[in-house]
Structure 1
Amino acid sequence: MRDQTLKRIKKKYARQAYFTIADAVKMDIHPEVIRRMTNKGEIDRIRRGAYRVIGAELTEKNSLALAAKAVPKGVICLATALRFHGITTQLPAQVWIAIENKMWRTKQIDTGLQLVFFSGESFTSGVEDHLVEGVTVRVYNPAKTVADCFKYRNKIGLDVALEALKEGRRSRKFTADELTKYARIDRVLNVIKPYMEAVF
């Protein structure tokens, strides 16, 4: 019976970064079966509640898929979004993820996540959906990400925000109008404007 269960899991999740206990339950597979399969080395446990098929294809964006599953309503932001869009040289140690104020709390925050609380239009605007490791990952677009970096410059550093502005402009990831729009939403237009004038 376990062989059939493993075949079902492989068929469904071999191309995805991982699956959760909730995913297994939706397939009518009891969590105890997953635990036994893990103990026998048939599947890997990658973190609490997350498993992967042994030999499943992984990419460097695997951590984004894990974050999206852990915080489904969250949006990849700041340094992690910069890295996703290729407009930084930073290698963030954690996945930066925005959540709406008071929208979501967890008893146990994954140590690989850096939660940032956004509110209103600052949270809802500029969101793009990307398919990563078979998981839909919500990421702020490049212009919104740069505006956010200026808003949170004390958290991530003004140098990171400036590098993203210059690199985003150089690689034509956004226009001055797009950046202005999100800077207004984030209420940092007066902060970013002198830097924009220097690069646009």
Structure 2
Amino acid sequence: MDYMTELAAIANKNGGIIETKTAAQRGISKAMLYKLCKAEKIHRIVKGQYVLPEDMQDELLSISRRSGKIIFSHETALFLHGISDRTPFEHTVTAPSGCIPSAAIKAECKVYYIKPELFELGKTMLQTPAGNPVPCYDLERTICDVIRSRNKIGTETFLSALKQYAASPKKDLNRLDEYARQMRVSGVLRQYLEVLL
């Protein structure tokens, strides 16, 4: 078996990421991955994930693949929606309360928690800068999150997000209103939007 050809095919199909479980399904053992890593034919990102040396790692895709129980939110969602031009220093994800993300996720991301019944609200798929789809909240849900966490994310980010949302041709005020009611931020939202719209 030509391991490198197999791994290149896996990487090609999975946004550059080779996962241990995918490699195992193709008959490549953990021991072989370890051997290839020692020989510097592949690079380990985190436990269970590798990339080929010539590939650029898509950090957002790598994070999203580590758990099905996280969705990009807050500053990272603003960035993916093009509402913030700054790449976040630390990526932000939301998890349902009661779900504890892995140590690798906690080490790299700021984690927010929400009641499980609100976790999927506004979930969509967006492209990373490298062009891979990742789970993220839609624009309206992101604005509600930013309002809920305004004391943690900083006034500048908060106000800039609201201003850009208000000016966006893609905004959906009915959806925003519906989410704001469910997330109990209607009052605060109205206060700010009256000034901006």
1:109 positional shift: 4.1
Aligned counterparts of 1:11 and 1:20: Cα–Cα separation in 2: 12
**Structure 2 partner of 1:78:** 74
Aligned counterparts of 1:175 and 1:199: Cα–Cα separation in 2: 15
CA root-mean-square deviation: 2.1
**Structure 1 partner of 2:5:** 7
Which region of structure 1 is more displaced relative to structure 2, 103-112 or 149-158? 103-112
1:154 positional shift: 1.6
Aligned AA (1:8)? E
Q: Deviations over 1:3-24 (max 9, x none)?
A: x011111012136231222222
> TM-score, normalised to structure 2's length?
0.88
Percent identity of equivalent pairs: 24
- In the superposition, relative to structure 1, how do residues 107 and 195 fare at CA in structure 2: closer, same or farther (>3 Å)? closer
Are the equivalent residues in 1 in contact too, given 2:10–2:17 (CA < 8 A)?
no
1:127 positional shift: 0.4
Aligned counterparts of 1:26 and 1:131: Cα–Cα separation in 2: 27
Long gaps (5+) in structure 2: none
User: Are 1:188 and 2:194 matched, yes or no?
Assistant: no
1:110 positional shift: 4.7
**Structure 2 partner of 1:42:** 41
Which region of structure 1 is more displaced relative to structure 2, 144-153 or 176-185? 176-185
Q: Deviations over 1:108-131 (max 9, x none)?
A: 545212211111443121000235
Secondary structure of 2:99 counterpart: coil
Which region of structure 1 is more displaced relative to structure 2, 122-131 or 145-154? 122-131
Greater relative contact order (Cα 8 A, min sep 6): structure 1 or 2? 1
* Aligned counterparts, 1:14-29, within 5 A: 14=12, 16-29=15-28
**Structure 2 partner of 1:99:** 95
Secondary structure of 1:97 counterpart: strand
- In the superposition, relative to structure 1, how do residues 137 and 28 fare at CA in structure 2: closer, same or farther (>3 Å)? same
Are the equivalent residues in 2 in contact too, given 1:183–1:189 (CA < 8 A)?
yes
Long gaps (5+) in structure 1: none
Are the equivalent residues in 1 in contact too, given 2:46–2:104 (CA < 8 A)?
no
**Structure 2 partner of 1:151:** 148
> TM-score, normalised to structure 1's length?
0.87
